[in-house]
Amino acid sequence: MLETSARLLRLLSLLQAHREWSGADLADRLGVTPRTVRRDIDRLRELGYPVHSAPGTAGGYRLSAGAQLPPLLLDDEEAVAVAVGLRQATGGVEGIEETSVRALAKLEQVLPDRLRRRVSALSSFTVPMPGAVQGPAADPAVLIELASACRDAQALRFTYRDHGGTVTRRTAEPLRLVAAQRRWYLVAWDVDRDDWRTYRVDRITPTPPHGPRFTPRRPPADDLAAYVARGVSGAVYREQATVLLRVPVERAAQRISPAAGTLEAVDEHSCLLHTGAHGLDVLVVHIVLAGFDFEVREPVELIEHIREIRDRLDRALGDRAPG
């Protein structure tokens, strides 16, 4: 039989992981009598845990919200996820930076060394890319595995599913992870293709064992976030365009995220936008909604498409006078 303190921790863990337990189920899980369960529930209540009980044969126990926050039990994966989230919040969400730092300090103080190394690897080998669109969430276990390989300079073996659904086997030397809200990318040297590649993490399935160790290569760009953004905003799309925006690049960057296109300064009054989309209609909408005067440099098909849309709008308005 478990000692009382260990049994209380086990009981608390069960209550946190399940919406409601019957007394009999808890007694069976803990290897004790229902009477012992009732005593342990009373001890948890004395410690400040709001355990609600419902009487009768269909009744049970559940952990509900209380007036104060009691201590929480986290398993290894949950602790790593919370720590990584707090590290990102310290510099990515306005207004909660100081609170995040305090919470992170408390958590990392009690993290075992094995978990602290995992958190450190995922944070140290991640590059944030702000303003990207939402996308499929990556598996935290895969993220940690990739981050550890980046940290240890260990070759990765994995299968990769491309945009068309084709699955191929890859061997790569991982460099960095680039975070774009819920979408993550791995920048790595593809050994078989002898070139740098950017992989969507949600399309990666690791196939260990990994290895061997390698000497890290010179990165493909000084700004890896911009490097990935160029690939995300252009290379995967059927239609691509270059547009002159008649605003300074700093102002354009306030409205156009790296995931929507890359910006290149021309002079103090204008900049070039390199972007892409799955169709010309989508391209026109993105460019117009940016809210700047513009001039299409290429392709010619986009210029003709804008003329068609202009004529269609003219016909829709007819002879109506403004006002």
For the chain (323 residues), the mean pLDDT of every run of 10, in chain order, is 68 76 89 90 84 72 67 70 65 49 62 77 67 59 84 93 89 88 83 93 92 92 80 68 94 82 89 87 90 94 93 82 57
**DSSP calls for 203-246:** GEEE-S----B-PPPPPS-S-HHHHHHHIIIIIT-SEEEEEEES
Supply the pLDDT for residue 71: 65
Residue 71 inside a domain? The answer is no
Q: Can you give the pTM of this predicted structure?
A: 0.50
Number of domains in the chain: 4
Residue 70 inside a domain? The answer is no
Residue 308 inside a domain? The answer is yes
Supply the pLDDT for residue 180: 61
273 with 307, same domain: the answer is yes
Q: What is the DSSP letter of 132?
A: P
Supply the pLDDT for residue 262: 81
Residue 32: CATH number of its domain = 1.10.10.10
Please state, in angstroms and rounded to a whole number, the distance separating the CA atoms of residues 157 and 208: 6
100 with 150, same domain: the answer is no
Residue 68 inside a domain? The answer is no
Three-state SS at 263: strand
Residue 181: CATH number of its domain = 2.30.30
Contact 111, 119 (CB under 8 A): yes
Question: Do you find a cis peptide bond into 209, omega within 30 degrees of 0?
Answer: yes
Look up the domain containing 16 and give its range.
Answer: 1-63
Three-state SS at 60: coil
Final residue of a structural domain among 220, 253, 278: 220
Supply the pLDDT for residue 91: 46
Place of tokens 């399309």: 203
Supply the pLDDT for residue 1: 41
Residue 131 inside a domain? The answer is no
102 with 49, same domain: the answer is no
156 with 111, same domain: the answer is no
Q: What's the distance, CA 304 to chain centroid?
A: 38
Supply the pLDDT for residue 51: 87
Half-sphere exposure of 107 (CA within 13 A, CB side): 24
